Homo-oligomer: A and B are copies of this chain.
Amino acid sequence: MRLSRYFLPVLKETPSEAQIVSHRYMLRAGMIKQSSAGIYSWLPLGFKVLRKIEDIIHEEQKRAGHIPMLMPTIQSADLWRESGRYDDYGEEMLRIRDRHDRDMLFTPTAEELITDIFRSHVGSYKDLPLTLYQIQWKFRDEIRPRFGVMRGREFYMKDGYNFDLTKEDALHAYNRHLVSYLRTYERMGLQAIPMRADSGPIGGDDTHEFLVLAETGESEVFYDSQITELKFGDREIDYDSVEQCQAVLEEFTSRYARTDETHDEAVFAEVPEERRRTARGIEVGQIFYFGTKYSEPMGATVVDNEGNKVPVHMGSHGIGVSRLLGAIIEASHDDKGIIWPEGVTPFHCGIVNLKQGDDEADAACEALYKSLTALGLEPLYDDRNERAGGKFATMDLIGLPWRITVGPRGLKNGVVELTSRRTGESEELSPEAAIERIAQIYGLAAKV
A5 within 8 A of B: yes
A41-B71, A44-B68, A72-B40 as given contacts; A96 in contact with B99, CB under 8 Å: no
A50-B70, A73-B154, A132-B44 as given contacts; A65 in contact with B33, CB under 8 Å: no
Q: How far is the CA of A217 from the CA of B73 in the complex (A)?
A: 27
A267 within 8 A of B: no
Contact A98 B141 (CB under 8 A): yes
A176 within 8 A of B: no
Q: How far is the CA of A134 from the CA of B42 in the complex (A)?
A: 10
**Partner-B contacts on A (CB < 8 A):** 5-7, 9, 30, 33, 35-36, 39-44, 46-48, 50, 65, 67-76, 78, 91-92, 94, 96, 98-99, 102, 104, 106, 113, 116-117, 120-122, 130, 132, 134, 137, 139, 141, 143, 153-154
Known A39-B74, A47-B69; 8 more pairs at CB < 8 Å: A36-B78, A47-B70, A48-B68, A73-B73, A74-B94, A98-B141, A98-B153, A106-B106
9 interchain pairs (CB within 8 A)? A7-B67, A9-B122, A33-B121, A42-B71, A43-B69, A44-B69, A73-B73, A92-B99, A106-B106
Contact B30 A75 (CB under 8 A): no
Contact B5 A65 (CB under 8 A): yes
Contact B35 A72 (CB under 8 A): yes
Q: Collect the chain B residues with CB atoms within 8 Å of residue A33's CB.
A: 117, 120-121
Contact B5 A35 (CB under 8 A): no
Contact A99 B143 (CB under 8 A): yes
Contact A35 B143 (CB under 8 A): no
- Taking a contact as CB atoms closer than 8 A, the residue among B43, B76, B143 that contacts A117 in the complex is B43
Contact A141 B67 (CB under 8 A): no
Q: Collect the chain B residues with CB atoms within 8 Å of residue A73's CB.
A: 73, 137, 154
Q: Collect the chain B residues with CB atoms within 8 Å of residue A48's CB.
A: 68
A44-B68, A69-B43, A113-B35 as given contacts; A74 in contact with B7, CB under 8 Å: no
Contact A99 B91 (CB under 8 A): yes
Q: Collect the chain B residues with CB atoms within 8 Å of residue A120's CB.
A: 9, 33
Q: Collect the chain B residues with CB atoms within 8 Å of residue A65's CB.
A: 5
Cβ of A180 to closest chain B Cβ, rounded Å: 16
A51, closest chain B residue (CB): B68
Q: Collect the chain B residues with CB atoms within 8 Å of residue A143's CB.
A: 99
Cβ of A90 to closest chain B Cβ, rounded Å: 9
Q: How far is the CA of A130 from the CA of B3 in the complex (A)?
A: 12
Contact A35 B116 (CB under 8 A): yes
A30, closest chain B residue (CB): B121
- Taking a contact as CB atoms closer than 8 A, the residue among B7, B46, B74 that contacts A153 in the complex is B74
Q: Collect the chain B residues with CB atoms within 8 Å of residue A94's CB.
A: 74, 96, 98
Contact A70 B42 (CB under 8 A): yes
Contact B72 A39 (CB under 8 A): yes
A7-B130, A30-B121 as given contacts; A113 in contact with B74, CB under 8 Å: no
Q: Collect the chain B residues with CB atoms within 8 Å of residue A72's CB.
A: 35, 39-41, 137, 154
Contact B121 A35 (CB under 8 A): no
Contact A67 B6 (CB under 8 A): yes
Cβ of A5 to closest chain B Cβ, rounded Å: 7
- Taking a contact as CB atoms closer than 8 A, the residue among B36, B41, B122, B141 that contacts A70 in the complex is B41
A31, closest chain B residue (CB): B69
Q: How far is the CA of A334 from the CA of B433 in the complex (A)?
A: 57
A48, closest chain B residue (CB): B68
Q: How far is the CA of A120 from the CA of B41 in the complex (A)?
A: 13
Q: Collect the chain B residues with CB atoms within 8 Å of residue A39's CB.
A: 72, 74-76
A58, closest chain B residue (CB): B51
Q: How far is the CA of A321 from the CA of B377 in the complex (A)?
A: 28
Contact B41 A69 (CB under 8 A): yes
Q: Collect the chain B residues with CB atoms within 8 Å of residue A132's CB.
A: 7, 44
Cβ of A92 to closest chain B Cβ, rounded Å: 8
Q: Collect the chain B residues with CB atoms within 8 Å of residue A91's CB.
A: 99
